[in-house]
Structure 1
């Protein structure tokens, strides 16, 4: 594979800093792609593969959202600080810092897709397209579908999850093993996990503030501030071409994703048959081509 030119930097965001990395050349005639990672608080590592789109002649910008990874860590900030608007403002700041306000694309994965939708309904200047990857349109759908998926799991897995959630003992080894059983089927089906995916889990363990505050202890037990999040009533406001991505075995099930397709005019939905929550890892070549072709079609 050809080498990808990369540069790193830090953007001032009020009293804080946002770390970013550019893969490829910002002076390309193709418009740059900003990658919004999930979590919240999972950092850029596990979506690193999207840098491969730079091989198609397009700059790809990864960044760590505030509170995780290489950006400013704020472990003492309370619930009121960590809001979707904070992360919308951070993205706007980064776009302007890099001088890309004229035209750019946005791809968000998982929580990043939720953030991309929050961004899109505000009709920000310069956005050429949105890609919403592996994301729910509401957390009520996410949690109800998580419970449905759990009801279909082996009884011993269900019993272990229920037991330790009732006790609030999320660090228990048995609970962690049961959680990993779920992750290997509905989060990433490439087992053992690739290094970049493992790096993200390790990063969340080191810097859990944002994830625990906004989401909860894990992917399927949501008790954080996003518990009642719902973008469905606003989706009709998105007025740019939108690609929706999900995996056949995704924790973001078709029921979670359907409202995006129903409410974003002209949107296109691609389901990756051999993937769960990370088609960019599980069906990497097809995912990069799907996204790259969509971006090429919507540069002008």
Structure 2
């Protein structure tokens, strides 16, 4: 497999940025969140997983960062704003990178695509990592609303709802409150993350699927629900969440019970971006999972509702 950065041309003619780093027999393909995020959240994975002999591949999805960014306002491009498209894109990237019997890690929106991939293409997977994503968006919406009400005053919550009803999302006070929530539940330690001089989120993609921010779920993803299918995922699976995640942890517990071959681990002092918040704990969990599957020591946890906290 070619190392470093590489542009792949899709069958639809668009170009995607891909990057492969690290050496070893273990192949890990990472799918970024957002929707509309970037591959950069995985740039440090190979270094942290060096002792586990992992080769990490990542890419920017259509519309994101270094990949082609079509004008989604054009009717001919609207067809790409679907889960089915991004799932097919993931499978095409796998083929073009020459991956098979690989580990697939998806963060947030990427975790949604990872679940879809495991249901459609399980024959290619050796292991699955679902990072901060549940199997439906209804329970997510209820949870972020509860987190907002528990963190802010009733007056602040009312103000946010008034701004949202008027679609005044650039209101300074509103943005301050969003930042408070982000610091509690999205990225608790942004000082550990990378910095840019310009915004890198693909907002047309994010707004279409999600909404204006993580606490306003009004996009097309509100319709996504795989609760009836979770039990069909048989691939050895790591479910990993921050202990202060935007995702409901009781739903994570339920998924763990229903998936016959899963392990559930919470990262302490971690939000939705817990690989950034607490990298030491997160990469210990991920490395241990990869080693256990590789050495055939991965075991299904039979105790109902059992989970563990990653080592600090």
Tell me the TM-score normalized by structure 1: 0.90
Question: Which structure's relative contact order is higher, taking Cα pairs within 8 Å and 6+ residues apart?
Answer: 1
1:225 corresponds, among 193, 206, 220, to 220
Distance in 1 (alpha carbons) for counterparts of 2:130 and 2:232:
15
Q: Could you tell me how far apart the structure 1 residues matched to 2:17 and 2:294 are? A: 26
1:45 is displaced (CA, Å) by 2.2
Q: Which residue of 1 aligns with 2:260?
A: 265
In 1, the alpha carbon distance for the partners of 2:225 and 2:281 equals 30
Q: Answer yes or no: is 1:298 the counterpart of 2:296.
A: no
Report the TM-score, using the length of structure 2 for normalisation.
Answer: 0.86
| 1:115-264 to 2 correspondences below 5 Å | 115-155=113-153, 156-191=155-190, 193-196=191-194, 198-199=195-196, 202-204=199-201, 207-264=202-259
What is the rounded CA distance, in whole Å, between the counterparts of 2:215 and 2:250 in structure 1? 15
* Structure 2 unaligned regions, length at least 5: 296-312
The alpha carbon displacement at 1:51 in A equals 3.1
Q: Alpha-carbon deviations, 1:32-89, whole Å to 9, x = none?
A: 1001110111112234332334412210011111110111112325654311121111
> Distance between the aligned counterparts of 1:195 and 1:75, measured in 2?
29
TM-superposed CA distance for 1:124, in Å, is 3.4
- Identify which range, 162-171 or 74-83, moves more after superposition: 74-83
Cα distance in structure 2, aligned partners of 1:165 and 1:8: 40
Tell me the CA shift for residue 194 of structure 1.
Answer: 3.8
Partner deviation per Cα, 1:207-258 (whole Å, 9 max, x = no partner): 3111011111010101111111111111122121000001111101213423
Q: Is the 8 A contact 1:45 1:199 kept in 2?
A: no
Out of 136-145 and 73-82, give the one that drifted further.
Answer: 73-82
Aligned residues: 288
